[in-house]
Amino acid sequence: MLKKLKKGFFLGLRSIEQGRTVLFSKDWRLRNQFERPRSIFFNRYWNNVAEGVGAEIDFVGYGFFRLRRDGKTTFVRQGEVMLDDHITLNIAGNKPLVHQLLKEQGYLVPEYVEYDLSTLSKAKEFMRKCGGNFVVKPASGAAGGWGITTKINSAVRLYHASWKASAFSGKLIIERELPGKNYRLLYLNGEFVDAIRRDSPGVTGDGKSTIKELIDKENAMRLNSKMPYALSPLTVDLDCKYTLSDRGLSLNHIPADGERVEVKTTTNQYSRHENHSVLDEIHPSIVDYGRKISNAINVTFSGVDVMIEDCTLPLKESGCIVNEINTTPGLHHHALVSDPEKEVPVGQKVIEYIFSSQAQE
């Protein structure tokens, strides 16, 4: 087994692009099928935003919409808006650099090590010293959770997860897997706008279908829903397999009727049902902490991801640890919430801010 791993390791070094094709062809094909529901969602989203702010909107091609009001103009494309410069975007997209900058300023970040496929021993030594479960991520170049694998607790899992992540970035990062739930705190020019809790995606048993069949059914429903409730597929990747394995399950397991099974640990492939507005639950001290983190690298529009064990407690008692800072944070996260009555009109707030900023120039 070890000889096979070593052989695969060196093949991976020589052929990362080939590895991407082999490992991700099914996932990428499935992801591409979701371009239609994404387009439907954002078409409706931006038309509703334009109506809400009293702006004209037109589709100018190549995925871009133009919004105009009182001589002011801005462009949007799906979840992207015209805020923050490219330097800020590049800094925020570099996970090791963000960890470094935050750590220098005294913020709690996960223990981590940066490495690549040729220095896998660094990651192995880090695992040996710390113990427990770990997360492997591309250091940059990936979004939406692609290339991220949790439940890394063996050399074999480390190897496979590292090869997967290397398809997105030559530089990799391994972190301690943090306890608690995943929260996103949203800020616009320092103003706290919204907070959501993203739970791990799962499927509900019918007493006769395997987990794999339930995942396939869930993806079919996501694709065919007239009103999109998820903008990405549930993929059967390493994170899925390791999550199930550590719970003594497999893709062939048949859950009981009504039994809910979390099929991944990463939260990015959630649906509306696993995404909850918690704006009124977050303790003010955590809100202030997230604002300071956002300001640490001068981000105008940021989604600060934190892991929290209890968001209602003060910061020091909550178990809050910074996970990452997201620029151009996904607007759909704040629209596809389990309770639509709690949806915050984030898009309208952003466009109003852009127009008011142009008026001051």
Lowest model confidence (mean pLDDT) among 25-29, 114-118, 222-226, 324-328: 25-29
More confident residue, 278 or 142: 278
pLDDT digits (tens, 9 = 90+) for 305-326: 999 999 999 999 999 999 889 8
Query: Is residue 20 over pLDDT 80?
Result: no
Kindly give, in sequence order, each residue whose CB lies less than 8 Å from that of residue 308, ignoring residues fewer than 6 positions away.
180, 181, 183, 286, 318, 319, 320
CA pair distance 169, 89, nearest whole angstrom: 16
Domain assignment present for residue 83? The answer is no
CA pair distance 342, 277, nearest whole angstrom: 6
Domain assignment present for residue 80? The answer is no
Domain assignment present for residue 199? The answer is no
Which contiguous run of DSSP H or E holds residue 359? helix 346-359
Domain assignment present for residue 328? The answer is no
Domain assignment present for residue 50? The answer is no
Query: Which residue from 320, 275, 325, 303 is spatially nearest to 179, judged by alpha carbons?
Result: 320
Domain assignment present for residue 223? The answer is yes
Mean pLDDT of 47-67: 97
Asked if residue 325 lies in contact with residue 302, where contact means CB atoms within 8 angstroms, the answer is yes
pLDDT of residue 25: 59
Query: Which residue from 134, 144, 137 is spatially nearest to 167, judged by alpha carbons?
Result: 137
Q: Is 357 exposed, middle or buried (0-12, 13-18, 19+ CB in 10 A)?
A: middle
Domain assignment present for residue 259? The answer is yes
pLDDT digits (tens, 9 = 90+) for 119-145: 999 999 999 999 999 999 998 866 667
- The total domain count for the chain is 1
CA pair distance 41, 48, nearest whole angstrom: 11
pLDDT digits (tens, 9 = 90+) for 233-261: 999 999 999 999 999 999 999 999 999 99
Structure tokens at 76: 């949007």
CA pair distance 68, 1, nearest whole angstrom: 61
Lowest model confidence (mean pLDDT) among 5-14, 74-83, 268-277, 326-335: 5-14
CA pair distance 309, 243, nearest whole angstrom: 20
pLDDT of residue 361: 61
Query: Is residue 164 over pLDDT 70?
Result: yes
Domain assignment present for residue 350? The answer is no
Structure tokens at 17: 């692009």
Domain, as residue range, for 219? 204-269
Mean pLDDT of 335-348: 96
Query: Is residue 50 over pLDDT 80?
Result: yes
